[in-house]
Amino acid sequence: MAKTLPPRSDVRKEETWNAESVFASPAAWEAERQAIEGALPGLSQYPGTLGSGPTALANWLEAASALGRRLETLYFYAAMSQAVETSNMKATAMVGQAGSLYSRYAAAAAFAQPEMLAIGEATLMRWTQDEPRLTVYTHYIRNLFRQQAHVRSGEVEEVLALASDPFQAVSNTEQVLTSADLKFTPATGQDSESVEVAQGTIDTILHSADRDARRSGWENYADGYLSMKNTLASNYSAIVKRDVFYARSRRYESSLEAALFPTNIPVEVFHNLVNTYKKHIPTWHKYWAVRRRALGVETLNPYDIWAPISKTEPHIPFEQSVEWICAGMQPLGDDYVGVLRKGCLEDRWVDRAVNQGKTQGAFSFGSYDTSPFILMSHDESLAALSTLAHELGHSMHSYLTRKNQPYVYSDYSMFVAEVASNFNQAMVRDYLFRTNTDPQFQIALIEEAMDNIHRYFFIMPTLARFELEAHQRAEQGQALTADDLNELMADLFSEGYGSEMQVDRDRVGITWAQFGHLYANFYVFQYATGISAAHALSRRILDGTPHAAADYLSFLSAGSSLYPVDALKGAGVDMSTPDAVETTFGILAEYVDRLDQLTR
């Protein structure tokens, strides 16, 4: 277990992301920032002109896209630079500068949708036939008119766009506070040695066989957040009020509808997930019982959830992780695997260093004109292999989307984002189950799977229920104090833990503050729907369903040219029903039974 973390300046270059492929230096970034700032006033020539004909509209869309792409890359470089070293105040300032530019760009472009709506759908669809540069925008235009009731006047849209800058500062405050300013008391293990508690070490501590280290690490980590509970609650309350503000400004019935309508996801999909989760809570109660027995403890505590049951912890260097992931993904073909391998081993897609100030967790991030980079802390564990497989799912999704779609469709919704990541984990896990039959490795692999499913199918649905209740209270004009939020969180986790788990209500109650995901409006439930679709799709390929791999690759290449539910239907899974969620709870139950048998 790592005792101390090196500063960013001491990590090896090959363990860092290829920042120089984006901008040669911070000075080059600054030059581009100034160039973009100088180009922004040029957008002022377009308001009031879009209705003059298809040529004028095509000119605007091309100009807006070109500047948007540049801004996307500018912001990404700043945000990634901050994430790998949150104590780097220059990077923090760059994030603020890029965010302000993006807000100004959005304000300058705010006139466009109201003007296009005023032209009328029939006319615009005719223009897509008359002007070849507009043909690609057919789906975009249809989707715009689907949302017509929620697009406001040009003046209102400008104000809403300008509001994004101060609201972004709330999210940035959460990241800086929790990753840079928040300090934790070191954990103490059985040998009385202290172990540094930080965002980059807490997962390693909680996976330790040393129960004293786990307990003190978990308690001290929670206590750090509790020491800032009122500040964190005030900050989260501001972000919930942001969501309510946007929902009401755009005339949605609720924050939930406002989050899902733009990507054409029915609110029933959210409620299907939550209701199916509540139905299957007893499966989790069984797992806690199996885990308590396997660990040989009288009472299970939350810090025992990640404790190793297997007697040997696999040691997996980064290069070996890449090779096993490639082997697991081979059913998707040589082209897919070749790009993945080169990205990891040659092009430095992955910032895998473990260093001071690195932000919590892992993510895949990039722009239309960069590689799909990954941030993680690879500690050569089975969990790190799984995290790498997960993030490579995101990165390959981005790579294939950008390769096959124009800029207007180069993004994809949160709803489908977690499908690709969990699909990779499911495929790699199946490969490892088949090729390594050692019982201890199998137990470790089930533990890794349960860690992932616990996060996606226990924590995230619980956070989704918390998020819904918090937004409903705000919509009703109720306050969101730290104590109220902690009590709500503790109640929801107590229901999920049941009688097998000892619940420290204060420390369990602060869990909401440990997930910056809650700053993205109704994001967390999509982890659970994503893992459901992923398991359903991986089963199609592993069962040998004809064309399953080709269907899946088409899904990865679709971007936002299709609505997410429709894209998944094309790949072979219907998320408008709870079937895929039920299937994945069945897989969860199989893992629990298998672990029970292997540990007796």
Taking only the tens place, the pLDDT of each residue in 168-205 is 888 888 988 998 889 999 999 998 889 999 988 898 89
Token representation of residue 455: 């996060």
Q: What angle do CA 412, 418, 419 make, to 5 degrees?
A: 90
First vs last C-alpha separation in the chain = 28
Q: Is 14 labeled as catalytic in the residue annotation?
A: no
Tokens of 519: 């700053």
Pairwise CA distance, residues 428 & 327, whole Å:
8
Distance CA 446, CA 598 (A): 10
**Whole-angstrom distance, CA of residue 589 vs CA of residue 600:** 17
SS3 359: coil
pTM of the predicted protein model: 0.84
CA distance 69 to 558: 19
CATH fold of 19-171: Butyryl-CoA Dehydrogenase, subunit A; domain 3 (1.20.140)
Q: Which amino acid is at 18?
A: N
328-370 pLDDT per residue, tens: 999 999 999 999 999 999 999 999 998 998 987 899 999 999 9
* Catalytic pick among 85, 174, 257, 391: 391
Q: What residue spans define the domains of the chain? A: 19-171, 318-443+523-577
Answer whether 230's CB lies under 8 Å from 483's CB. no
Q: Do domains 19-171 and 318-443+523-577 have the same CATH topology?
A: no
Which candidate, 465, 467, 480, 468, places its Cα nearest to that of 232? 480
**For 387, what's the count of Cα atoms within 13 Å in the CB-facing half-sphere?**
24
Is 318-443+523-577 a CATH 1.10.150.240 domain? no
Distance of CA 436 to the CA centre of its chain: 30
How far is it, in rounded angstroms, from Cα 299 to Cα 302? 10
Facing residues of 373 across strands? 365
Please give the single-letter amino acid code of residue 92. T
Give the pLDDT of the chain (600 residues) as one tens digit per residue. 445 789 999 999 999 999 999 999 999 999 999 999 999 999 999 999 999 999 999 999 999 999 999 999 999 999 999 999 988 999 999 999 999 999 999 999 999 999 999 999 999 999 999 999 999 999 999 999 998 889 888 899 888 888 888 888 888 889 889 988 899 999 999 988 899 999 888 988 998 999 999 999 999 999 999 999 999 999 999 999 999 999 999 999 999 999 999 999 999 999 999 999 999 999 999 999 999 999 999 999 999 999 999 888 899 999 999 999 999 999 999 999 999 999 999 999 999 998 998 987 899 999 999 999 999 999 899 989 999 999 999 999 999 999 999 999 999 998 999 999 999 999 999 999 999 999 999 999 999 999 999 999 999 999 999 999 999 999 999 999 999 999 999 999 999 999 999 999 999 999 999 999 999 999 999 999 999 999 999 999 999 999 999 999 999 999 999 999 999 999 999 999 999 999 899 999 999 999 999 998
- CA dist 23 → 49, 78, 361, 370 (Å): 35, 10, 25, 10
